Every structure is written in C-alpha cells, then in structure tokens.
C-alpha cells in the first residue's frame, strides 16, 4: 500500500512541484494550504500533469482544530512542511507576521503530529541559516550564524525546535537547506506565482522580458567576484522537488533521528551569468542597469551538496539553461498581465 504524505503549503512554488514528484513516485498526497500565496487552480494543474487528484484541505496550519480533525480523519505516514512566509524584505518590515506564521505554524503542526503519533517530517529550510559567510562551497557542518533577517531567524528557530523534538520526543526529522530555487515544471503547468513586484532575480528577469517591468536593476557590480556581481547556487525547482521524495524515503527508514542536507547544484553563478543564460534561452535582449548594492545581500554563496548526493542518492539533472528555459516558458503561460503592483 502506498504511504500517505501530508504536504503543508502544497500549492505553493516548491510545494506544488514536490506534490507532482510524490504522486509520480507512488506516494498518496494530502495537501493543506491557506491559499495566501497560491490558488486552488494549482491543484487542477498538478492533476493535469500527474493524472491524479489532489486531496486538498484549505486552511491555515495555525488552526489547531482543523489540523486535529484532519489527522483524526486521515492516515498520515509523514509530513513535508513548506507552509511559511518567505519574503526576506517583508520579514524586516513585519517581523511578528513571520514569527507567528513560520514558528507558530510549525509548532502547532508538530504538536498535532505528536498527538497523533506521526513523527516523520521533512522541513523546508534555507541556506540563509549560514548567514553572511564567504566560505563556499559550504557544507552542513558550517555553523549556523546570526540571522540576517527575521525570516532567517524563523528558519534557525524552526530547525532548532525540530532538533529538540528529534532528541527528546521521538521525532524523525530532516532539514533541507535550499540554495536558490528557480525555473518551473517543463510542462509549464506550474511555476512560481510571485505576488506584486518580485524580490527574487529570476521572476524579475522573466517579468522584465515579458514587458511587465521596464528593466532589471543588478544590485551592485563592485563585489569581490570575477565579474563583480553576487554569486548564488541556482537550482531547478524540479531537482529540488525530487530531493524531497528522496528525503522522505530516507526519513521513513533512517536509523538516526535527525539529519540536515544542503540542496544546491554545487555551482556558483553570478547575476550577469544568469542574465546571459536567460537571454540565450529566451532569444531576447534583457534591458538592465547596474544599481547600488541591496542591503543584506551576501557576496557569494554556493553549496557543497555532496552529502545529499551520497546519502540520499540524489543528483541534479537540470542546468542553468534548463532553469531559464522553463522559467521563460512559464512566464509565457502567465502572460504579460501578471503585474499586481
């Protein structure tokens, strides 16, 4: 019999791609999503890819009673927890929103899991927990640093809470630290749906190429990197989603109670390299200017992902060109009308 996985935030960007991969790898999936940064239509689009219906609960995970009723009613073997706010800048403006949603939501979820003897969880974290470091490639033994933003604080605290529960309360937890997820499903049925003006590089690029934004501003070209622009480890969202399936396989059978994995390609790419790759993939010229540095940007960071490759038997299949091609294909589906501010 298939195992059943609850995916919180399963209609979001990474969540929806993970639901597809789970369904395509013999897992039954239940999604809980409050639609705060997604839409119900995503469930239909997942089904268009997998030909399997998505069992959907529309609720905030902070609603303990709804969670309890769901855990009573369903037979859940493990949880992949995505549901969280993720805008770094917004978290500086509205820190309490981030503490309440990201930390409050996760503790409610863990409490209800514990009450129902569901103890296996894969948690969506970020390389932001390494803070402002220039030591790359960076591996999981690198110490967690002081957070750069309230968003980062929530990821560090949630990792710590999970570690406690794995140590003392019988949980089996896996933390996945993402580098920079980009791209979209090759079917162009699902992808990122940025609300308002995108903060992240790739949606900003695709919206600019689609004529929604006038031009891209490159945030600084005076960094100590080969072309002066920041370096990041961009990873295709489908590769990232596949890593969640591997992580869940591993979590359900592992001997130890807690483990942490970086998820990146292991390749650092500059902002200008990304722009060039996009221009090539889309056949467009991207209007851009060089602007000031963005406050809080780390100069360069990329992953040592060898632990995930070795222990989870996971390897990235997509390169930067595929990331740009699929991001552009998805933008063409969204069209030029997705400007919401």
Which residues are known to be catalytic?
151
CB 86 within 8 A of CB 15: no
Interacting residue with ligand UFG among 128, 136, 153, 331 (CB under 6 A): 128
Name which of residues 290 to 319 contact ligand UFG (CB under 6 A): 294, 297-298
Interacting residue with ligand UFG among 107, 139, 217, 221 (CB under 6 A): 217
C-beta contacts of 157-161 below 8 A and 24+ residues apart: 157/103, 158/102, 158/103, 158/106, 158/123, 158/125, 159/123, 159/125, 159/129, 159/260, 161/103, 161/106, 161/107, 161/110
Give the shortest CB-111-to-ligand UFG separation in angstroms: 26
Other C-beta atoms closer than 10 Å to the C-beta of 72 total 10
Q: Please identify, using beta-carbon distances, which residue of 145 and 252 lies nearer to ligand UFG.
A: 145
Interacting residue with ligand UFG among 43, 201, 312, 327 (CB under 6 A): 201
Q: How far apart are CA 68 and CA 194, in angstroms?
A: 31
CB 296 within 8 A of CB 170: no
66-74, 125-133, 237-245, 320-328 -> range binding ligand UFG (CB under 6 A): 125-133
Interacting residue with ligand UFG among 86, 177, 185, 242 (CB under 6 A): 86
Paired residues of 7 in beta bridges: 31, 80
Rule CB under 6 A: say whether 219 interacts with ligand UFG: yes
Other C-beta atoms closer than 10 Å to the C-beta of 255 total 5
Rule CB under 6 A: say whether 17 interacts with ligand UFG: no
Name which of residues 156 to 185 contact ligand UFG (CB under 6 A): 180
Rule CB under 6 A: say whether 4 interacts with ligand UFG: no
Binding to ligand UFG by CB under 6 A, coded x per residue (else -) over 87-106, reads: -x------------------
Number of residues that bind ligand UFG (CB under 6 A): 20
Name which of residues 242 to 271 contact ligand UFG (CB under 6 A): 271
Please give the distance of CA 174 from its chain centroid, rounded to a whole number.
14
Give the shortest CB-216-to-ligand UFG separation in angstroms: 6
CB 175 within 8 A of CB 341: no
CB 226 within 8 A of CB 272: no
Residues 6+ apart with CB under 8 A from 298: 131, 132, 133, 134, 148, 230
Give the shortest CB-84-to-ligand UFG separation in angstroms: 10
51-59, 72-80, 215-223, 306-314 -> range binding ligand UFG (CB under 6 A): 215-223
Residue with smallest beta-carbon separation from ligand UFG: 230
| Element containing residue 68 per DSSP (H, E) | helix 64-73
Residues 6+ apart with CB under 8 A from 65: none
Residues of this chain that bind ligand UFG (CB under 6 A)? 86, 88, 126-128, 180, 199-201, 204, 216-219, 230, 232, 271, 294, 297-298
């Amino acid at each position: 019999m298939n195992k059943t996985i609850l995916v919180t935030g399963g209609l979001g960007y990474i969540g929806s791609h993970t639901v597809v991969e789970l369904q395509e790898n013999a897992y039954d999936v239940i999604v809980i999503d409050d639609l705060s940064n997604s839409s119900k239509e995503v469930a239909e689009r997942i089904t268009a890819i997998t030909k399997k219906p998505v069992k959907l609960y529309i609720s905030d995970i902070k609603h303990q009673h709804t969670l309890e009723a769901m855990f009573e009613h369903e037979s859940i073997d493990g949880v992949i927890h995505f549901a969280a706010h993720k805008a770094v800048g917004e978290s500086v403006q509205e820190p309490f929103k981030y503490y309440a949603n990201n930390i409050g939501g996760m503790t409610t979820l863990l409490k209800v899991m514990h009450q129902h003897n569901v103890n296996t969880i894969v948690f969506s974290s970020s390389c932001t927990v390494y803070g402002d470091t220039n030591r790359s490639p960076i591996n999981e033994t690198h110490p967690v640093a002081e957070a750069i933003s309230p968003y980062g604080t929530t990821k560090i605290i949630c990792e710590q809470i999970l570690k406690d529960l794995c140590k003392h309360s019988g949980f089996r937890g896996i933390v996945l630290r993402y580098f920079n997820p980009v791209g979209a499903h090759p079917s162009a049925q699902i992808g990122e749906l940025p609300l308002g003006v995108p903060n992240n590089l790739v949606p900003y690029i695709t919206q600019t190429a689609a004529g929604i934004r006038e031009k891209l501003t490159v945030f600084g070209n005076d960094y100590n990197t080969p072309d002066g622009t920041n370096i990041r480890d961009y990873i295709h969202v489908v590769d990232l989603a596949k890593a969640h399936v591997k992580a869940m396989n591993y979590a359900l059978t592992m001997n130890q109670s807690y483990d942490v994995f970086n998820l990146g390609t292991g390749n650092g790419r500059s902002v200008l390299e990304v722009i060039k790759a996009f221009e090539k993939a889309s056949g467009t010229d991207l209007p851009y200017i060089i602007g000031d540095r963005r406050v809080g940007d780390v100069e360069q960071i990329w992953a040592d992902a060898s632990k995930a490759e070795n222990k989870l038997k996971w390897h990235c299949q997509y390169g930067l060109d595929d990331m740009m091609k699929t991001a552009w294909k998805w933008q063409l589906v969204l069209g030029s009308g997705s400007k919401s501010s």
